[in-house]
């Protein structure tokens, strides 16, 4: 008998390859996502002009669905609250 699998939360991080704030944020975000069972989708806005127009130099940005959870620096409390409410 197959068991129903739970949907995993997914956070989207809009980033740039050359962005040290992006690297720092992702390094801090990964352990939280591993702990709470969430996936991270990283979108390089330089490779996607449709996102570059929306975000410009304002990266990194962490999105939970349609909600911005934080930008520039990780707001661990906001991310944890979003992921815990997702469960």
Q: What's the average pLDDT block by block, 10 residues per block, for the chain (87 residues)?
A: 66 95 98 97 92 84 97 98 91
User: Of 55, 68, 71, 56, which is closest to residue 22 (Cα–Cα)?
Assistant: 71
Answer left, alpha or beta for residue 38, where phi above 0 means left and psi between -120 and 50 means alpha: beta
State the pLDDT at residue 49.
Answer: 84
State the pLDDT at residue 52.
Answer: 78
State the pLDDT at residue 66.
Answer: 94
Q: How many domains does the chain have?
A: 1
Domain hosting 51: range is 9-86
For residues 60 and 57, what is the distance between their CA atoms, to the nearest angstrom? 9
Write phi, then psi, for 56 (nearest 5 degrees). 55, -125
Domain membership of residue 2 (yes or no) is no
Strands 38-44 and 67-71: unpaired
Domain membership of residue 24 (yes or no) is yes
Question: The CATH number of the domain where 49 resides is what?
Answer: 3.40.30.10
Domain membership of residue 53 (yes or no) is yes
Domain membership of residue 48 (yes or no) is yes
Domain membership of residue 80 (yes or no) is yes
State the pLDDT at residue 3.
Answer: 46
This prediction's pTM: 0.88
């Amino acid at each position: 008998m197959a068991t129903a699998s739970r949907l995993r939360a997914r956070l989207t991080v809009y980033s740039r390859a050359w962005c040290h704030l992006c690297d720092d944020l992702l390094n801090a975000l990964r352990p939280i996502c591993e702990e709470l069972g969430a996936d991270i989708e990283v979108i390089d806005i330089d490779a996607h002009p449709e996102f570059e127009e929306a975000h410009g130099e304002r990266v990194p940005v962490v999105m939970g669905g349609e909600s911005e959870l934080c930008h520039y620096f990780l707001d661990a409390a906001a991310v944890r609250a979003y992921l815990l409410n997702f469960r």
